[in-house]
A and B are shown apart, each in its own frame.
Chain A
Amino acid sequence: MIEVSNLTKRYHRLVALDGISFKVNQGDVLGFLGPNGAGKTTTMRILTGAMPATSGQVQVAGYDVFEQPLQVKRRVGYLAEVPPLYEDMDTSSFLRFVGRLKGVGRKKLGGEVDRVLATCGLEEVCSRRIGNLSKGFRQRIGVAQALLGDPEVLILDEPTIGLDPNQIIEIRGLIRELAENHTVVLSTHILPEVTQICNRVVIIHRGRIVADDSLDKLTTEERSLEQTFHELTQQ
């Protein structure tokens, strides 16, 4: 579903991504891990077409991100690290706006917005101004906008950040449900989250991939995912 080959990104002299390659198959839930500054967000931003790469190729659902960006963007729902929200809009007009951008037809728009409002538990705040909402609600609006138009691929950059324990459980449950018929790339620092949701793990460190395997192989009886992560990202 997603094919990244030889992806390099340089910011002036700083090398953020150094020729990384990995594949995500249809139906995979990929945990994308790495210490802060490893290049996770950079990779995700390139995958979603928010930013170009210096070199390398990315294909999503058979379309090249650089050659056919619109085709890719139609099939990808993206939750950025800081959810991009218009503070001056109310929740449902914001979601209607994103729905229109995603090309949800006029007749379906209302139903689609109601669906994501319900999925993310946002009905009670649907007419409140986003700028006045708590962090947890904002995060959920971020998730909701990624779900609009039911894209095949979901790219979620730290989706549970800023949520309280109850909301974390809800969102995890939601991601698990979505995983049944979506391809998900999930970045997080909460390793237990990965063990609960993901079936595959890619660990990136200083712009290089240091592990790419199924979850079962990276966690064994004697070594937890935490230990593996710590060892691989030490130097």
Chain B
Amino acid sequence: MRNVFAIFRKELQITFTTPVAYVAFTVFTIVSSFFFLRMLSEFQRRIMIATQMRPQMLQYMNFTDHVIQPLLYNVAVILIFVVPFITMRLIAEERRARTFELLLTNPVTPFQIVLGKYLSALVVVLVMVILVLIYPLLVWTYAEYGGPEWATVLTGLVGLFLVGAAFTAVGLFISSLTSSQIVAAAITFCTLLLLWVVGWAATDNTGITRDILSGMSAIEHIRSFAKGIIDSKDLVYYLSLAFLGVFLTHRALEAQRWR
């Protein structure tokens, strides 16, 4: 555990003294703010229409459902673009700079290396999830009545964190296969993108194929979290993807040592 913590700490030190993390946070915040503002103005427009046309509809219009829910879905999509930048460095860079040898010749096991690195990347993901919390907080501060339903919002953010955790594990694994950060980022991005769009193919199919394809889509599983529902099938999806990524990374490191 001490070793895991040592690696974890070193990774965080490097992450937060180099610009990469800050660039990721900035890009992430700019794009998600754009989505937030879009959803917010769309929500306002609908309220205006409803007030004029059908005032009875107003009781069904709720900020959490109309703004936060679609926002979380969109932010999860942004993670597809941002996570590769966070994970590309993790192992590929150690390989390129030959610092991996330092880890290999010290009394650390590959599992401790993988775990320390994974946990450090999760901290970065966690920071991004907390950044998303700004939007409901803003509305909560300025809304005259109503405001977000906190239980739903927090469940959604847990879902977002799980998406990030699963993506990070995939990125970590891909970073362990190459010594080029660019290659790692490109392949991670491509994989995550496919994990998302595979759900689109579901509409062309029927029966079991359809269920499998829509079940595979990484982003679909955040929908119920965003509604405030923790469904075990979504939980299992993200946790198994995260576990698989970490497990494969460990296997990859072990295998390369013996080459």
Contact = CB atoms under 8 A, between A and B. Distances in A.
Contact of B102 (A52, A88, A98): A98
A85 B10 contact: no
A89 B18 CA distance: 9
Interface of A is mostly: loop
Contact of B6 (A74, A78, A87, A101): A101
Contacts of A145: 102
Given A51-B257, A86-B14, A88-B14, A101 B107 contact: yes
B98 A80 contact: yes
A51 B2 CA distance: 24
Contacts of A86: 10, 14, 97, 99
Interface residues of A, number: 27
A70 B100 CA distance: 16
Given A51-B257, A88-B14, A89-B14, A97 B6 contact: yes
Interface residues of B, number: 26
Contacts of A76: 105
Interface string A88-132: 110001000110111100000000000000000000000000000
A45 interface: yes
A85 B96 CA distance: 11
B2 A50 contact: no
Interface in A35-91: 45, 48-52, 70, 73-74, 76, 78, 80, 82, 84-89
Contact of A50 (B14, B104, B107): B104
Contacts of B105: 48-50, 73, 76, 78, 80
B240 interface: no
- Among B97, B105, B258: residue with most chain A CB under 10 A: B105
Contacts of A84: 97-102
B17 A88 contact: yes
Interface of B: 2-3, 5-7, 9-10, 13-14, 17-18, 97-109, 257-258
